Structure 1
Amino acid sequence: MTDAAPRLAAVAETLLGTPLPVRIRAWDGSEAGPPGAPLLAVHDRRALRRLLWKPGELGLARAWVAGELSAEGDLYAVLERVAGLLWERGPLPGAPDPADGAGAAADPGREPAAAGALLRDPERRAAVRELIALAGPLPPPRPPAEEVPRRSGARHTRVRDRQAVSHHYDVGNDFYERVLGPSMVYSCAYWSTGATLEEAQRDKLALVCGKLALRPGLRLLDVGCGWGSMAVHAAREHGVRVTGVTLSREQAAYARKRVADEGLTDLVEIRVQDYRDVRDGPYDAVSSIGMAEHVGAERYRDYARTLYALLRPGGLLLNHQIARRPAPDEEAYRIDRFIDAYVFPDGELSPLGSTVGELERAGFEVRDVEALREHYGLTLRAWVARLQEHWDEAVRLTSPGRARVWLLYMAASALGFERGRLGVNQVLAVKPAAGGAAGLPLRLRTWNG
């Protein structure tokens, strides 16, 4: 029989309590759902077992990474409708979300999480039984190999941070070239009408340099220097002496070659070093572009104080950082499980107000905040387009699962920025000099022309 899709659609509508927003194609070739709606293909019933054992985002992500789910046609349309269910309703109604890991795999006879949740409503109880029948009686599949193993110990120690950075950035420089393009800038670009990705990234680097008022002879510390784009731009265009630090050895090797190819070795030094171990201040300016997301809420004050100590009086900090919307109950806020498991292990997002507050507590005077939320949506869509264009190469350079991780992460993040769930902000702060002098012009925004 070829009736898996209609059965699955009926189960989904019962459990979600809403009409199915996408069309489903099941592993047996059957289809169900609104005609003409974006299509979600369920290639393998193993995807259902993942959802039974891990309802919600992580179960869906595991099935996607394993190739058991895919979007056909407009990727963004599928993700927006599926993500809308998660954002607005959470996982299956009433389903618990137990600690993940070896426990479920080690006890395959244990009742699936979703099956123990619903279960005073006869219709939903029947729907869960139908879902179990569709999924089959086998135990939950192991997580895809791309998932970060369970971690132990305190977050954001030097060793654990180095491991987290390596997981995300040491995927291969050739892979990142396919996604990011020649600029090799892995942060929000600064767009103008008709600009290319390369032009928008150049304009972002110019914006940062303008805010920091860089000029020949100044010393710049670029924290989380990545593949050296900011360091090269600042030295080449403004004649500053740059120290770039990263925890990624692959990034450092790539950045050093760029510096040498540009003939800038007398101005730029690239180190594999934790920012907490930099001891050769004071610097005239610090740029931190897309790095602070790795710091962690409990370490953020130390991060701010460290950068404050590395600046001379009157020195400037440009902190470019992704932000999340404040949660109604901040104590109940949880790190995104897909991002933590597959993309940025131990990464944390904070509301803009928290970031500004911590910078001020460290002694900085915050002088300007510029929100670039819409710019990041455009940037991510450009990266997704490049990944799709170079898909076969990306798979060859990494793995099918890793390429799927990046596709899902970037496309879903684009929607997050476009819908206002995420933001990104450039915060310009100064370390006040004696008597409170900041040394800044009366009209700051001359960098915007």
Structure 2
Amino acid sequence: MGVGSVCVNQASAVAMSKSAKRFVLNQLEKAGVTLNGADPWDPHVHNDGLWARLLRDGTLGLGESYMDGWWDAEELDQCLFRLINASIQDAFPKDLAEMWSVARGRLLNLQRLRVTEVGEKHYDIGNDLYAAMLDKRMIYSCAYWKDARDLDAAQEAKLDLICRKLGLVPGMHILDIGSGWGGFLKFAAERYGVSGLGVTVSKEQAALANERTAGLPVETKLLDYQALDGQFDRIISIGMFEHVGYKNYRAYFEKTASMLAADGLFLLHTIGGHHSTTHGDPWSEKYIFPNGMLPSIPQIGKAIEGLFVMEDWHNFGADYDKTLMAWHARFEAAWPQLSASYDARFYRMWRYYLNVFAALFRARNISLWQVVLSPHGVSGGYASIR
């Protein structure tokens, strides 16, 4: 290759970089965001390779470039909120990461092929991290802030709301699918006098859950939900359905229906998407929730048809913004101690995760649903509880 060819290639690369920058800056302007501006939500860019990277890699590139220190914003949540609220992603060309995510979702059933992957890569990364970030009961799902002023109170309110929606009374035997660190089972056993079984695919969660619930009539097993059997008066699933996958929604509800008493109730607590999809976000899939995807209302409706009567559908997705920002504040406060166990890139990854999800809920791009289901319809009607 001659000197002339090298010069031509370099000139072409520079031109492409300038074109990419103009495109991205135009999108930022639509969102009310100014490059290197004075507002706390304005991004400050440290690497001019960012523009081409965003066009090439989409949301994956946005998250990875933040992890790599290519850009910063004083108020990261506000920056991301403005980008999401202006729907600037719609203007970007389809990127390879998104196309690969779509293809994997359609061709494979990774939620069943790799049942334990999300436990190993997300929930097992360290109980010290989760203990520092979460409330005292270690509840890793949306809190209920209606009458609460702090995270502990908001999580207790959520747990009690679930118990009241299910009509728990002493002597009932309940199942918690995706039971985490045993927080709900402990609460329900102590406050409502029930016994119960919880299942999780996380070794760290199962071990700590049994330690924290010692002496109570509850147990947590390291077990895939499809391996369950038995009969239960009530079934609960809190923040687990996002890992089921659209190809398995029907089988999931068939399984729960087979284990629920004829006069029982099932409460599904899940993040939900406003559009039916068959894959997740490339950045989140790669770094936070492997094989995760959000269900839609039509997908849930089709999956429960003929199995359950929908008694109540409660959306309090705006509360997840407050929950995530509370987790973020606790994570930041604990970082000086956590930094001995986690590196700087993990820090940027984790804070990006908490802030981008808070922004998504703030923009009302995604929701949080509690759905109460019964096998045959509650005689006389179900009284909705808020």
TM-score (normalised: structure 1): 0.74
Residue aligning to 1:324? 273
Q: Does 1:234 align with 2:236?
A: no
Instruction: Confirm whether residue 98 of structure 1 aligns to residue 96 of structure 2.
Output: yes
**Hey, what does 1:74 align to over in structure 2?**
75
Instruction: State the partner residue of 1:221.
Output: 175
* C-alpha separation in 2, matches of 1:19 and 1:400: 27
- Measure, in 2, the Cα distance between the counterparts of 1:203 and 1:232: 14
Seq. identity, %: 32
Asked whether 1:272 is paired with 2:232, we answer no
| Structure 1, unpaired ranges of 5+ | 1-7, 26-33, 104-149
What code does the residue aligned with 2:117 have? Answer: Q
- Counterpart of 1:321 in 2: which secondary structure? strand
2:358 paired with 1:357: no
For the residue of structure 2 that corresponds to 1:90, the secondary structure is helix
Aligned equivalent of 1:381: 325
Deviation, 1:37, is 6.0
Contact 2:162 2:267 in 1 (8 A): yes
Partner residue, 1:136: none
Q: Deviations over 1:328-359 (max 9, x none)?
A: xx6xx652111111111111112123213312
3-state SS of 1:161 partner: coil
Paired with 2:22 and 2:85, the residues of 1 have a C-alpha distance of 14
2:3 maps to which residue?
A: none
* 1:362-411 alpha-carbon deviations (Å, 9 max, x no partner): x1111111111111111111111111222223333333222322211221
Q: Does 1:303 align with 2:252?
A: yes
Deviation of 1:239 (Å): 1.1
For residue 48 of structure 1, report the CA deviation from its aligned partner.
5.3
Q: Kindly indicate whether the alpha-carbon contact (under 8 Å) linking 1:323 and 1:423 is maintained by their aligned counterparts in 2.
A: yes
Matching residue's letter, 2:131:
E
Structure 1 Cα separation of the partners of residues 40 and 336 of structure 2 = 28
Taking a change above 3 Å as real, the CA distance of residues 357 and 157 of structure 1, as seen in their structure-2 partners, is closer
> What TM-score, normalized by structure 2, do the two folds share?
0.86
Report what 1:116 is aligned to.
none
Bigger shift: 36-45 or 223-232?
36-45
Aligned residues of 1:43 and 1:67 also touching (Cα < 8 A): yes
> Could you give the per-residue CA deviations for residues 188-229 of structure 1, whole angstroms, max 9, x where no partner exists?
111134521001100111111111111111110000000000
Structure whose CA Rg is larger: 1
- Give me the whole-angstrom Cα distance separating, in 1, the residues matched to 2:259 and 2:223: 15
Distance 1:36 1:377, change over 3 A: closer
Contact 2:98 2:281 in 1 (8 A): no
Give the secondary structure class of the aligned counterpart of 2:305. helix
Cα deviation, 1:287-341, whole Å, max 9, x if unaligned, reads: 00000110000100000000000112111100001111126xx6xx652111111
2:136 corresponds to? 182
CA distance in 2, matches of 1:293, 1:166: 16
**Unpaired runs of at least 5, structure 2:** 1-16
Contact 2:60 2:97 in 1 (8 A): no
Q: Is the 8 A contact 2:179 2:200 kept in 1?
A: yes
CA distance in 2, matches of 1:76, 1:99: 23
User: What one-letter code is carried by the residue in structure 1 that aligns with 2:249?
Assistant: Y
Contact 1:364 1:431 in 2 (8 A): yes
Aligned-pair CA distance for 1:429: 0.6
Q: Which residue is equivalent to 2:13?
A: none
SS of 2:267's equivalent in the other structure is: strand
Mapping of residues 195-214 of structure 1, within 5 Å: 195-214=149-168
Q: Which amino acid aligns with 1:317?
A: F
Q: Which structure 2 residues correspond to residues 165-176 of structure 1 after superposition, within 5 A?
A: 165-176=119-130
Tell whether 2:369 aligns with 1:420: no
Quote the offset at 1:417 in angstroms.
1.3
Cα 1:375–1:400, aligned 2, differ >3 Å: closer, same or farther?
A: same
Deviation of the 1:159 alpha carbon = 5.1
Summarize deviations over 1:50-84 as a string: whole Å, max 9, x none: 43642x2111111112233222x222222223445
Structure 1 residues 251 and 12: alpha-carbon distance in aligned structure 2, compared to 1, 3 A threshold: same
Distance 2:249 2:346 in 1: 30
CA shift, 1:19, in A, is 6.0
Q: State the Cα deviation string for residues 13-59 of structure 1 (Å, max 9, x = none).
A: 3455456444445xxxxxxxx444633233345645643642x2111
